[in-house]
Structure 1
Amino acid sequence: MKKGTIQEVEGLTTLTVGNLLDDQHWHYVTIKRNGRQVSLTVDSQTESAVCNGDFIHLDLDTQVYVGGEIEPNMPYMPEKTNFRGCLENVFYNGMNLIDMAQRKAPEIRFPHRQKTVQYACQDFPLKPLSFVGPNNYLQVPGMLRKPRMAVKFKFRSWDYIGLLMFTRFADDFGSLELGLSEGQVNISLMQPGKKKLQFAAGFRLNDGFWHTVDLVARDNSVTVTIDDDEGSPIKITSIFTVRTGDSYFFGGCPKTNNTDKCETKLNAFHGCMQHIFIDNKLVDVDIVLQRGWGRYSDLLLGTCSITDRCIPNPCEHEGRCTQSWDDFMCMCENTGYKGEVCHMSVYKESCEAYRLNGKFYSGNYTIDPDLHGPLRPFSVYCKMKEAKAWTIVRHDRVDNTNVTGSSSDQPYLGDVTYYNATWAEVTALARTSEYCEQWIEYSCYKSRLLNAPSARPFSYWVGRHDERQEYWGSSFPGIQKCACGINQNCTDPKFHCNCDADYEQWYSDRGWLNFRDHLPVRRIIIGDTNRTESEAQFNLGPLRCYGDRSTWNTVAFTKPTYMEFPTFRPGNAADISFHFKTTADHGVFLENSDEHHRCFIRMELNSTTDLLFVFMVGDGIINVTLRSPEPLNDDEWHWVQAEINVKGARLRVDYQPWAVRRFPGQTYVTMTFTQPLLVGAAKYKLRAYLGCLRGLRMNGVPLDLEEKVNEQEGIRLCCTGQCLNASLPCRNGGRCIEGYASYYCDCNNTAFDGYYCHKDIGAYFEAGSWLRYDIRREAISKEAVWANWVDPRNFSLGFNQTSEEIEFSFSTTQTPAVLLYVGSFARDYVAVILKKDGSLDLRYRLGLFTHKFQVSPSNLADGYPHFVNITRHNYTIRIQLDYMDPIWEKIPLLQNVRFDSPKSMFLGRVMEVEDIDHEIQRHNSPGLDGCISGVRYNIYAPLKTYFRPNETDPPVTVQGYVVESNCGAYPPIQGLVPPEADPWYTGLEFEYIHDDLPSAPVLALIALLFLALICVVLYAIYLYLYRYKGSYHTNEPKILESPNSVRPLTDTLLRDKNSNLPQIQEESRSE
């Protein structure tokens, strides 16, 4: 151990490496330091760190101590006993200290009264035993009926309770038991007819180190010595008799064949033992067992297999680790965290989270912005409002600070210290909040502020990223203005701040800083108060934030793709949480791995109900499967939580029970990833997820999904799929079912068909034909009469209705006809009648009264299609014909508006068994001779049920000639059908590229030859076109000879033409 003087306590640096080094094996230790970089290596394990403090030199004394300290009360020395064991090859900066000691170098000195130093290490033959099973024990023989019993052994263990040794005295004189209880050795001596004698010795003997127990018992006295401490043995005297038995049991009692009556209430001991002495004789376990003198069970001979599971400490956030033989526990009290390894925060991330969990009273709360991350929770004030909760963090600059004597070269630095929180913790709050603000105010007397617009500012403030911000309250980043400069009401209009006018009067510039990415304020710099009578004051309000930016950080995946984030580095524990919403039946939410995929974690939707947490962290591929009783692809938001640590892994969806996978006893898990974190698909875009994702947190740290939005790659902002961007939306009331990469239309509650609910389902009715749709086959019971009070607008109840929706279209040239009729088990009905003159009427009978409303006075029997829409709610009726303005009608007040128990619906003609209204009978013959389509009454579509049945016995009866027809509707213009919904789509076909094509040099040569050929052709064309270049050519027409005249036909033309041209002197032919 090196002795030195330390300038400050903050400079102390401690490194811890290795465990259970007292195993009688050689261990190699190396310490290296270069400046503030230090590394400690034990065997193959290395721990590195940067030394605390500001210095790179060590102010050491001139002595090095090996094996322990010499002078007592040395400063800064740990309170440890001197080393007992062997050291070799001790080098310090290249000097072999042991060699110097052997040569008795003058630089080496030993303490006074030091025993003879041996320059050799004597190996002691050790034969430790490991008690590892639930029924382990070791039975060895002893001398019978001796009046003195002496037992000595060494043990090490982590357990609080366990049987160390048991022996039964001869001649029924009782028994003696040594047990480990709460870290002490308890001695129990029991004899017939006497009170049980009990006492304890030792303290914290279950610390994993070797401890010696030496027990000597004789008549009327027992002496126990722990760890060879001869100065403080435990001696108990009482009246009892000792007669040794012939068997000693160590570690436990046999469960079967227990002929020696080894009886104890203690659990079996788990740990190691060695150096067992009975009656001062070393027990050679190998010889005892070979000769059959003893027995054993669940023992490992010749080794101590104890494991220290608390080094390195698996408990996070300063949790205290305790352990047993095969497990460890984390004590998380007073840490602010919970869970098996103190990983999960017990606090909410913001005041908004407390408000959403039912906390409506303002006051002091403890928050943890990064939840399970490394930052500590801290206390804030929560101001609860009805719609939001403000998180308020106070600091030491709320009151005015006076500044004088500062300049640009030597400015005043006003550091801001936030109460109860470090700078990193306050920054985490601002980063995860939706909105933040701080009030800032600067008062001046002949002291300039931003000095705008002429020069650099004298004063400014520093925010989140240690960047100087040259704008003031109620202004905007990058414009070097105060609030008055924005509002154009500064004291001097030539400047952008009141204080920049430099008047010898008190002015101020104030306002809110609310650009969240620059907050919180860390420092305020004041630099213009060194002139005569110059003075300034400033104050800064508390940081105020509300909202949670991470919870609604939402994207939608509409194509097979993924986002890339920095590698996830969780350590020995990790937790993941997010919300998802999809209609797909599979998809990978996220994956992170190493280069060769030997270490990875992945979360995926494996089926409509199965969610998988798959990982390989050192023990093969393991998965945790959660099977939901309800489908998870219902296009609703679901909350997923996953956690993995050295104890096990678990998975949860919404508030369902956890799916748990326990791990075998171990000390760490390997989560060393090297590849980027992929969100949205696995590597190579395999098993891509299509849907929405929001609020992704990894170890409590939110990931900014919105920052990775890329429309071209198929990543959209917010949860917007194809339904909001449909090329052709669903028609006629069809419900759009989101597929994110595609969509389809649910036409079940409409009277239409087709991919977009655009196909009109109609029927041609010959005169006398009719169709009946049975709404109810039996009358309702008396108990259901008032069921409408539960849900009065639920059309599926089928009785006591106060609302109707009716729509259809028709075309005919014959009158009269009852187009639609809905009857009931009572005498109530609804009817749409086409009268003899072609006008259209609506008739209601509700209770005792019949109501007649005219839909159109015009003649609608013109052979053209007409659309009718009727909607009633209580007393109000809305009627619309074709695309004309709707007509509003009213049923008189105080009259019944309930349509009691609808029974059946008729199209074309009413063939009711019971009596029907006289007005209906008058228009019921001969019936509809025409076409009717798109018929819907509330949720019932009779024509669709008849022509597109989805049940084996549809409630439809048809009489006469009724045939399907589109009633003359024009085919709609259809958009492109997505490939996922096209049954004829066979996938993309890629042209096969043969690998037997010419090589690259050959292709280059062919290209050069081709270019040369083109050049030759172009040159030949050029020669051909310009072969007479330089010669004079005339374009005079040749003489045309007339077949009927000896005179050429062109003579006159030439003469007329030449008369208008200048005459050219030509050479004679002879020349």
Structure 2
Amino acid sequence: MFSDSGQNWKQYRQEESIWAFSGNTNADSVVYYKLQHSIKARFLRFVPLDWNPNGRIGMRIEAYGCTYRSEVVGFDGKSCLIYTLNRKLINTVKDVISLKFKTMQSDGILLHREGQNGDHITMELTKGKLSLLINLGDTKTHPPNAQINITLGSLLDDQHWHSVLIEHFNNQVNFTVDKHTHHFHAKGEFSYLDLDYELSFGGIPVPGKSGTLSRRNFHGCFENIYYNGVNIIDLARRHKSQIYIGNMSFSCLEPKVVPVTFLSSSSFLALRGTSGQDEVFVSFQFRTWNKDGLLLSSKLHQSSGGFLLYLSDGRVKINLHKTGRVLSAGLNNGQWHSVSLSVKRNRISVRVDNDVTSSAHAFIPLQIYSDVFYFGGCPSSGNISECNTSFGGFQGCMRHISIGNKAVDMISIQQNGFGNFSDLQIDLCGITDRCLPNYCEHGGECSQSWNSFHCNCANTGYKGATCHYPIYEQSCEAYKHRGNTSGFYSIDSDGSGPLGPFLVYCNMTDTTWTIIQHNSTNLTRVKSANRENPHTVFFKYSASLDQLQATINLADHCEQELAYYCKKSRLLDKSDGMPLSWWIGRTNETHTYWGGSLPAVQKCACGLEGSCIDSQHYCNCDADRDEWTNDTGFLSYKDHLPVTEIVITDTDRPNSEAAYKLGPLLCRGDRTFWNSASFNTETSYLHFPTFHGEFSADVSFFFKTTASSGVFLENLGIQDFIRIELQSPYEVAFSFDVGNGPSEVIVQSRNSLNDNQWHYVKAERNVKEASLQIDQLPQRSHSAPPDGHIRLQLNSQLFVGGTASRQKRIFGIAKITPGVEPGCPGHCSSYGNLCHNGGKCREKYSGFSCDCTFSAYTGPFCKKEISAYFWTGTSVTYNFQEYYTLAKNSSSHASSFYADMTLAREAITFAFRTTRMPSLLLYVSSFYKEYLSVILTRNGSLQIRYKLDSHQDPDVFSISFKSMADGQPQHVKINREEETLFVEVIPLGVGEKVDYHKKVDKQNAETMKANSQGFVGCLSSVQFNHIAPLKAALHHSSSAPVIVKGRFTESSCGTLTGADSTSSETTHSFADHSGPIDEGKPLANAIRSDSAIIGGVIAVVIFILLCITAIAIRIYKKKGIYSKNEAKGSENEDSAESALKSELSMQNTANENQKEYFF
């Protein structure tokens, strides 16, 4: 501890923590310590904390320092010192002001200087914090935004010296209070301060110039005031150019105030009262950060109860006979607050901060027993039962304790024992502001208690104890490989860096594109622009330039389309070589090359390709023709993107006009996401410059290995270190030392981590805690000690994949190691589950992709449905490849060859949406008249008909519940394995039933009846085994064996996706039974063995979707199957179909990704 006067001690702190050191262990050796930062004091005090190992205590001290010159001046709160400069008006581009001050008052003016044109500089103490108010400029109205207010420091009213330095050069200002510096750029039109010739210290001599400022003068002491190297106090002492106002002395008087620190919730101070007197008066001041704590308690006379005065949620409360009364609020703000208690003739009065409005009066039936008053708490053996309450003891400082209008001498109590106390520090206020400096990052709000601080990270985009780690991904590529689809996402391009997140659109195709919009994407026409009056347009993006730069640097490739349309409007004046139009990029440089060209060549795309309409020019527009042409292309040089400004100057001639259109910024790839390095030997490692993360740092990576242990990462210092390692196949450890001794956070996994699969590691260390997370396992953390070392100081290289301290390397692969041999194989083993609906994961040189060739879906993860709208008369016929090839050269030999082929199982999936019934949904037939058909019957039920033997009758299965022709999405899965049939319909209605029945149908009348009506509606995601006929018809119609008849339109079908809906599963058997079948219980009755195949002698299989043939229509028209009433029903159905198509059209229009039209 150190002090100027031998009292009011201050604890020496190092790295924002109380510093303790080990002394010598014998009488001969010397232990030498060098302070991290110097102190200026006349008295030193050493507090022994523990005995030496030999059980003795004793210490010799030798202090090394230097002389210190001090010039002081004291102010009484009514005075000020005015320094008169040599000239009446000083215009200077540089000012340096330095001083030190000490005070017990929380408010007051320290410095003020003002000019005639609104310039002023003021330094003011407000609530224990120092504010610098500065304004530059010649405005006469003093708008609020022209003034800068910077606040530094806290608890500066502690009667200790605090240093201040103001450095001003042009518009750049450095403001330093103690060790904390804030650099900022001052506002104003001039690069210098225009101020009067007077500089005032301690107050404002003529109030009114700055009426918004506090008028309270400074009460305390200044030391060593310098203005541009001039010692102001020395000039004042020698009666040079200065003016005195009020009472001022060249000395610093120390007030006789002895503060007391209550270190813990068990601390207390017991003082004797004034027994036998009718009146009791107690007063004191306190300061604390805690919301709750006992301030004062005493026993009631002739009663088992007690009187309590305590803090609850920052409010002072009185508890008398268990009845509470609230006084004031917000008293846990670290400021000094006064409390006075008066009891006289059964009447009690409490006042807070001498505020009449914050006072309470009450009548009590019993006199307070004033023998002993307990401050801050009470001993465990105390006789006040209410004293040990749930809100705990007081932690903070008290001073000016008075009982019975008599000040308590705390020094006497400490030396002579007139009273009782526990766990106190006398003549010292140990309160510290744990929110200064503010370790809450990214705008997190800091709040504190006596022992710790807390960061509120709400609405910051970050998480963790200090709001350090981002909650958003770094790129669209990262979102894609979490399985996300196209949409708007917030990205944080620099991760835990200073830049915040911003919104982009991620287009999740095979190549993931990040799309960043700006404020002017429309085609804009320009006339009447020349060099003297150019047309200039500025583009404002949805992100700042720093955020854009971070995104561009992270991407593999970026581009931006720039289209310039012209009619007698040139880009380059060939006569003098000067550009007539140009654009400006992110770096504020002018560029004269245009879309599709290269930097610094002053050409357009046609100039590089040699395809300009006039070979004498390098741009189409430079031909200067009286007709519209254009120079359009993509700008792709990343260092110049994005375009921030376009200037056009050649549209003022007759018939001269131009138009431009700038597209959004497009970026793809993530340079860090797929970077990887392999470590194959014990001596293999990577090393990088020293890792800098003094107060907060995070490390994240993927790894895969077969080794049982190894070091992932290590960086050493003289004493400090940081290390992440695989300690065993089931355990990863994050260890470090910041000066408090080695600490370790361990995460254990039930599954082995050396399984050659990718595993994710995220480690974070900040001043509050260290944490470690592996994959999706619960995060483990280790809290930092409240007053320990917090700075991580490293000086060696950062080793990745190995260690400098011991031979223990990691064998395997570390992912996200920038710049080292990208393209490690084996991604499908970890990411293959992202490929859905039968898509196959394919390894790529860098990453993976999903192959949707044999899936009815498309998209980057085979999740996008392929759907089509069918109109009356539309059909899609898919010929199996075997028959398609065979039909070209048919023979009896070929027929006998295919007759030996059998098909013992099918897997069929599709979705539909219709209001037409009956309808044929699917028809599969063989070369030998075996077939499978799926139809909607006249009542809307689903009917599946299997004929597996041309000589036998078909088996018919009906699934009956509410009509499936209700215009709602229906998903159907059919799986047959020999004699067992499994059917799943999503969604099913309430109270559904599944009927199985069989009947003779020699002419297949029901199928042909449904076929004759045709199908109108949407079909989606149709798949038969590995065949996807809709996909073939829509995307590969030229190469696939598919025939399309009628109007056939690709459609989203009003979003048919419903795989997550509640489903009902039914398993059937080809048994000779009828009636309901229990769900989930397959019947294993044997079917005729010759019916267990589709066409046991299959030679040709034809997959027909909604096959509507002219022959079938003629047959059923001749037979007159449908009555007139049924015809009327059909008309009603047609109107329902129209409503459905209208609904689908509206839904598709609302979908921003759809570009399709319904006719």
TM range (shorter): 0.5 to 0.7
Which of 673, 695, 701 is residue 578 of structure 1 equivalent to? 701
**Alignment CA distance shift 1:254-1:612 (3 Å):** same
Aligned residue type for 2:157? D
Report what 2:500 is aligned to: 376
Aligned residue type for 2:293? G
Q: Deviations over 1:8-27 (max 9, x none)?
A: 67775555554433332233
1:616 aligns with 2:733: no
Greater mean alpha carbon deviation, residues 77-86 or residues 127-136:
77-86
* Structure 2 counterparts to residues 949-1028 of structure 1, below 5 A: none
**Alignment CA distance shift 1:675-1:544 (3 Å):** same
Q: Secondary structure at the match of 1:89?
A: strand
Which of 58, 63, 66 is residue 201 of structure 2 equivalent to? 66
> Are the equivalent residues in 1 in contact too, given 2:702–2:758 (CA < 8 A)?
yes
**Alignment CA distance shift 1:147-1:388 (3 Å):** farther
Q: Deviations over 1:917-970 (max 9, x none)?
A: xxxxxxxxxxxxxxxxxxxxxxxxxxxxxxxxxxxxxxxxxxxxxxxxxxxxxx
Aligned residue type for 2:502? F
**Alignment CA distance shift 1:658-1:200 (3 Å):** same
Q: Secondary structure at the match of 2:223?
A: coil
For residues 420 and 194 of structure 2, the distance between their equivalents in structure 1, rounded to whole angstroms, comes to: 61
Greater mean alpha carbon deviation, residues 460-469 or residues 388-397:
460-469
Residue 456 of structure 1: CA displacement? Answer: 7.0
1:200 aligns with 2:322: no
Q: Deviations over 1:725-759 (max 9, x none)?
A: xxxxxxxxxxxxxxxxxxxxxxxxxxxxxxxxxxx
Q: Secondary structure at the match of 2:551?
A: helix
Q: Secondary structure at the match of 2:243?
A: coil
Report what 2:917 is aligned to: none
> Are the equivalent residues in 2 in contact too, given 1:640–1:651 (CA < 8 A)?
yes
* Structure 2 counterparts to residues 599-610 of structure 1, below 5 A: 599-610=720-731
Greater mean alpha carbon deviation, residues 212-221 or residues 544-553:
544-553
Residue 223 of structure 1: CA displacement? Answer: 2.9
Q: Secondary structure at the match of 2:370?
A: coil
Report what 2:875 is aligned to: none
For residues 330 and 215 of structure 2, the distance between their equivalents in structure 1, rounded to whole angstroms, comes to: 17
Which of 511, 515, 525 is residue 392 of structure 1 equivalent to? 515
Which of 347, 363, 375 is residue 250 of structure 1 equivalent to? 375
Residue 123 of structure 1: CA displacement? Answer: 1.7
1:502 aligns with 2:624: yes
Q: Deviations over 1:906-926 (max 9, x none)?
A: xxxxxxxxxxxxxxxxxxxxx
Report what 1:227 is aligned to: 353
**Alignment CA distance shift 1:550-1:502 (3 Å):** same
1:718 aligns with 2:823: yes
* Structure 2 counterparts to residues 776-791 of structure 1, below 5 A: none
Report what 2:713 is aligned to: 590
1:426 aligns with 2:563: no
Residue 217 of structure 1: CA displacement? Answer: 1.8
Residue 663 of structure 1: CA displacement? Answer: 0.7
Report what 1:417 is aligned to: 540
Report what 1:7 is aligned to: 136
Q: Secondary structure at the match of 1:612?
A: strand
Which of 404, 409, 412 is residue 279 of structure 1 equivalent to? 404
Report what 1:735 is aligned to: none
For residues 76 and 441 of structure 1, the distance between their equivalents in structure 2, rounded to whole angstroms, comes to: 56
For residues 556 and 218 of structure 1, the distance between their equivalents in structure 2, rounded to whole angstroms, comes to: 84
* Structure 2 counterparts to residues 93-172 of structure 1, below 5 A: 93-98=228-233, 107-110=242-245, 116-172=247-303
Report what 1:26 is aligned to: 161
Residue 70 of structure 1: CA displacement? Answer: 4.4
Q: Secondary structure at the match of 1:308?
A: coil
Q: Secondary structure at the match of 1:366?
A: strand
> Are the equivalent residues in 2 in contact too, given 1:556–1:720 (CA < 8 A)?
no
Residue 401 of structure 1: CA displacement? Answer: 4.0
Report what 1:763 is aligned to: none
Greater mean alpha carbon deviation, residues 538-547 or residues 451-460:
451-460
Report what 1:309 is aligned to: 434
For residues 525 and 796 of structure 2, the distance between their equivalents in structure 1, rounded to whole angstroms, comes to: 53
Report what 2:867 is aligned to: none
Aligned residue pair count: 703
> Are the equivalent residues in 1 in contact too, given 2:566–2:621 (CA < 8 A)?
yes
Residue 274 of structure 1: CA displacement? Answer: 1.9
Q: Secondary structure at the match of 1:123?
A: coil
> Are the equivalent residues in 2 in contact too, given 1:450–1:481 (CA < 8 A)?
no
Quote the RMSD (CA, aligned, Å): 4.1
For residues 702 and 577 of structure 2, the distance between their equivalents in structure 1, rounded to whole angstroms, comes to: 50
For residues 80 and 679 of structure 1, the distance between their equivalents in structure 2, rounded to whole angstroms, comes to: 60
**Alignment CA distance shift 1:259-1:357 (3 Å):** same
For residues 600 and 440 of structure 1, the distance between their equivalents in structure 2, rounded to whole angstroms, comes to: 51
Residue 61 of structure 1: CA displacement? Answer: 3.3
**Alignment CA distance shift 1:350-1:248 (3 Å):** same
Report what 1:177 is aligned to: 308
For residues 270 and 70 of structure 1, the distance between their equivalents in structure 2, rounded to whole angstroms, comes to: 41
Residue 518 of structure 1: CA displacement? Answer: 4.5
> Are the equivalent residues in 2 in contact too, given 1:450–1:460 (CA < 8 A)?
no
Aligned residue type for 1:206? N
Report what 1:473 is aligned to: 595
Aligned residue type for 2:695? N
> Are the equivalent residues in 1 in contact too, given 2:740–2:789 (CA < 8 A)?
no
> Are the equivalent residues in 1 in contact too, given 2:306–2:385 (CA < 8 A)?
no
**Alignment CA distance shift 1:79-1:259 (3 Å):** closer
For residues 219 and 591 of structure 1, the distance between their equivalents in structure 2, rounded to whole angstroms, comes to: 73
Q: Secondary structure at the match of 1:348?
A: coil
For residues 519 and 532 of structure 1, the distance between their equivalents in structure 2, rounded to whole angstroms, comes to: 34
Q: Secondary structure at the match of 1:108?
A: strand
1:447 aligns with 2:569: yes
Aligned residue type for 2:162? H
**Alignment CA distance shift 1:483-1:678 (3 Å):** same
* Structure 2 counterparts to residues 893-932 of structure 1, below 5 A: none
Report what 1:215 is aligned to: 341
Residue 457 of structure 1: CA displacement? Answer: 5.3
Aligned residue type for 1:660? S
**Alignment CA distance shift 1:456-1:654 (3 Å):** farther
> Are the equivalent residues in 2 in contact too, given 1:453–1:495 (CA < 8 A)?
no
For residues 495 and 589 of structure 1, the distance between their equivalents in structure 2, rounded to whole angstroms, comes to: 58
1:366 aligns with 2:490: yes
1:89 aligns with 2:224: yes
> Are the equivalent residues in 2 in contact too, given 1:556–1:692 (CA < 8 A)?
yes
Which of 294, 308, 317 is residue 186 of structure 1 equivalent to? 317
For residues 232 and 896 of structure 1, the distance between their equivalents in structure 2, rounded to whole angstroms, comes to: 95
> Are the equivalent residues in 1 in contact too, given 2:515–2:666 (CA < 8 A)?
yes
Q: Deviations over 1:652-679 (max 9, x none)?
A: 1111222322111148731455565444
> Are the equivalent residues in 1 in contact too, given 2:299–2:368 (CA < 8 A)?
no
Residue 90 of structure 1: CA displacement? Answer: 2.9
Structure 1: runs of 5 or more not aligned: 191-195, 697-704, 710-715, 722-788, 790-892, 898-1071
For residues 582 and 18 of structure 1, the distance between their equivalents in structure 2, rounded to whole angstroms, comes to: 51
> Are the equivalent residues in 1 in contact too, given 2:305–2:386 (CA < 8 A)?
no
**Alignment CA distance shift 1:50-1:213 (3 Å):** same
Greater mean alpha carbon deviation, residues 210-219 or residues 3-12:
3-12
Q: Secondary structure at the match of 2:546?
A: helix
Report what 1:267 is aligned to: 392
Q: Deviations over 1:971-1006 (max 9, x none)?
A: xxxxxxxxxxxxxxxxxxxxxxxxxxxxxxxxxxxx
> Are the equivalent residues in 2 in contact too, given 1:219–1:240 (CA < 8 A)?
no
**Alignment CA distance shift 1:152-1:65 (3 Å):** same
Residue 313 of structure 1: CA displacement? Answer: 0.7
* Structure 2 counterparts to residues 765-914 of structure 1, below 5 A: none
Aligned residue type for 2:307? L
Specify the structure having the higher radius of gyration (Cα): 1
Greater percentage in strand: 2
Q: Secondary structure at the match of 2:302?
A: helix
For residues 640 and 690 of structure 2, the distance between their equivalents in structure 1, rounded to whole angstroms, comes to: 26
Q: Secondary structure at the match of 1:160?
A: coil
Which of 395, 411, 419 is residue 294 of structure 1 equivalent to? 419
For residues 290 and 261 of structure 2, the distance between their equivalents in structure 1, rounded to whole angstroms, comes to: 13
For residues 549 and 467 of structure 2, the distance between their equivalents in structure 1, rounded to whole angstroms, comes to: 24
TM-score (ref. length: structure 1): 0.59
